[in-house]
Amino acid sequence: MVHLGPKKPPSRKGSMADVPRDLLEQISQLETIFTVDANKLKAIVEHFIKELEKGLSKEGGSIPMIPTWVMSMPDGKEKGSYLALDMGGTNLRVCEVQLLGNRDFDITQSKYHMPPGMKTGTSEQLWDYIAECLEAFLQSHHPDEALHELSLGFTFSYPCSQTAIDNGVLQRWTKGFDIDGVEGHDVQPMFEAALKRKNVPIHVTALINDTTGTMVASNYTDPETQMGCIFGTGCNAAYFDVVKNIPKLEGLVDLDPETPMAINCEWGAFDNEHVILPRTKYDVQIDEDSPRPNQQAFEKMIAGLYLGEIHRIVMLDLYEQGFIFENQSVEALKKPYSIDASLLSQIEEDPFENLTEVEDLFTTRFGIQTTEPERKLVRRLAELIGDRSARLSAAGVAAICKKKGIEKCHVGADGSVFNKYPHFQERGAQALAEIFGWHDLTPTQYPIKVQPAEDGSGVGAALIAALTAKRVNEGLPVGMKPEIIAKLSK
């Protein structure tokens, strides 16, 4: 009798038995360039820690490490009703949040689709559209009420230098936005001017990054949460540091060195100088063809906006070299950003060994008839891109934990890639285990857990508005003098 032991987990590679040698060679080359092994991950983490520290220094570095003026976690007793607005990459969401004072909340919300041209339209169009959505929200949820000035937590998730909790100078657009006249300016007055033009009785109490909101919201329901991450259209993280570890605040504020300060890392900018990340020629191409080349190097290898695009340009390259889709028209594949991360998810999730769902996808979406070996390559490529994204994300989480000396914590994570991309969470956890050497532990025992977050831009924004009001009542400083703006802006 042969003892077989526990069943091995099913191989994601599927069988490659019938794949011809030339395609196998291509698959093997893709595996080489897209795989980030444990040693490389550890090297990335060490470099990342240095870059996080550089970002906090007076001289600054590539990673902006922005003090957000969110200066405490909630205690769970926060109460009140708050408006929150989230300007994400794709949708606009308006919420009314009731904090119930016992780590509980109620939320009413409406979503508005951002018109496609808006990402590259004019600044006025953007602010007017947002003001109109708020107006529509108030009209449908508070019809015929005489509203007094309402305060709003505005989640504006782009790198903004903040000299106070209610302002933010946009350093640069990310996530494919390219609207003139906003970079280098404080977004709050522009937005409030639009609200005035439309007679919407609202003012901004707090300008919030989605990661900070996510951290605070998750800590509200789970006090073990010490970090907030977004893995969606873009990717980023926030955590709490203390003033003495933020040299760039020295001389600008008079705060006790132990005062906590939430930092919006804007880690998408990690390795903009290209010294450690294993970029492929495809990553270089994505960067060069993007509206902001040489920026967001880390984000461009991880975030949802780019995963499908990486897949598309690899396929086109292999087609042009004559390895796949012979005698097929690939016109539909030539359109930039025509594949999004959800298509990659569908490719990975095809349960059939002969990948018939992928076959249907390619015929209906692109008019391409695929052979089974081609589909196997296409699926393996999706796995490699998804796996690399999850593993690099884990390197970011590990770097913050190591920098802070955190050995055990929960990380609240949100975003379409984290929530919907197949295996992203398990792959990330596996990478953390490799980095920290948790060889004898099962995933449920891992001391650092990245888990689904509470709603950061709704509940988180409301909590931050509540915490700000509390600080004002307690007579603690809430922001800084305007002249500091120049010093913190980069």
Contact residues for ligand GLC, defined by CB under 6 A: 157-159, 174-175, 209-211, 230, 232, 234-236, 266, 268, 299
Compute the C-alpha angle 472/92/489, nearest 5°: 55
Helix ranges, 178-280 (H): 187-197, 210-221
Give the separation between CA 454 and CA 156, rounded to whole angstroms: 17
The closest residue (CB) to ligand GLC is 234
Q: Considering the complex, state which of residue 306 and residue 366 has its C-beta at the smaller distance from ligand GLC.
A: 306
Task: Give the span between the Cα atoms of 395 and 392, in whole angstroms.
Answer: 5
Specify the residue, 235 or 246, whose C-beta has the smaller distance to ligand GLC.
Answer: 235
CB 460 → ligand GLC: shortest distance, Å? 12
CB of 210 to ligand GLC, least distance (A): 5
Active-site choice (93, 172, 312, 427):
172
Nearer to ligand GLC, 14 or 396 (CB): 396
**H or E, element range at 250:** none
**Residues 126, 158 contacting (CB under 8 angstroms):** no
Q: How far apart are CA 247 and CA 340, in angstroms?
A: 40
374, 441, 404: which is closest to 23 by C-alpha?
Answer: 374
| Total residue count of the chain as it appears in this document | 490
Cα 414 from Cα 420, distance rounded (Å): 10
Task: Please give the backbone phi and psi of residue 202, each rounded to the nearest 5 degrees, phi first.
Answer: -135, 140
Check: CB of residue 168 under 8 Å from CB of residue 187: yes
Whether 210 is catalytic is: yes
Neighbouring CB atoms inside 10 A of 4's CB total 7
Residue pair 246/216 in contact by the 8 Å Cβ criterion = no
CA distance 69 to 262: 7
List the end-to-end C-alpha distance of the chain, in Å, as a whole number.
69
> Which amino acid is present at 275?
V
Distance between CA 396 and CA 255 in Å, rounded? 28
Which residue of the set 86, 166, 210, 241 is catalytic? 210
Angle between helices 424-436 and 372-404 (to 10 degrees): 50
CB of 208 to ligand GLC, least distance (A): 10
Q: How far apart are CA 270 and CA 63, in angstroms?
A: 6
- Which alpha helices (DSSP H) does 98-208 contain, by range? 123-141, 187-197
Residue 157 annotated in active site: yes
- Residue 20 C-beta-side C-alpha neighbours within 13 Å: 7
Q: Which is nearer to ligand GLC, 210 or 387 (CB)?
A: 210
Q: Is 21 a catalytic residue?
A: no
Q: Are 109 and 95 in contact (CB under 8 A)?
A: yes
User: Which of 157, 218, 290, 345 is flagged as catalytic?
Assistant: 157
CB of 235 to ligand GLC, least distance (A): 6
Q: How far is the CB of 371 from ligand GLC (least distance, A)?
A: 38
Nearer to ligand GLC, 214 or 226 (CB): 214
Query: Which of residues 268 and 460 has its CB atom nearest to ligand GLC in the complex?
Result: 268
Angle, vertex CA 371, rays to CA 368 and CA 376, nearest 5 = 105
Q: Which is nearer to ligand GLC, 63 or 313 (CB)?
A: 63
**φ, ψ for residue 485 (rounded to 5)?**
-50, -45
Q: For 344, how many CA atoms within 13 A lie in the half-sphere containing its CB?
A: 32
Closer to ligand GLC by Cβ: residue 14 or 67: 67
DSSP 386-402: HHHHHHHHHHHHHHHHH
Closer CB to ligand GLC, residue 347 or residue 392? 392
Annotated catalytic sites, by residue? Answer: 157, 172, 210
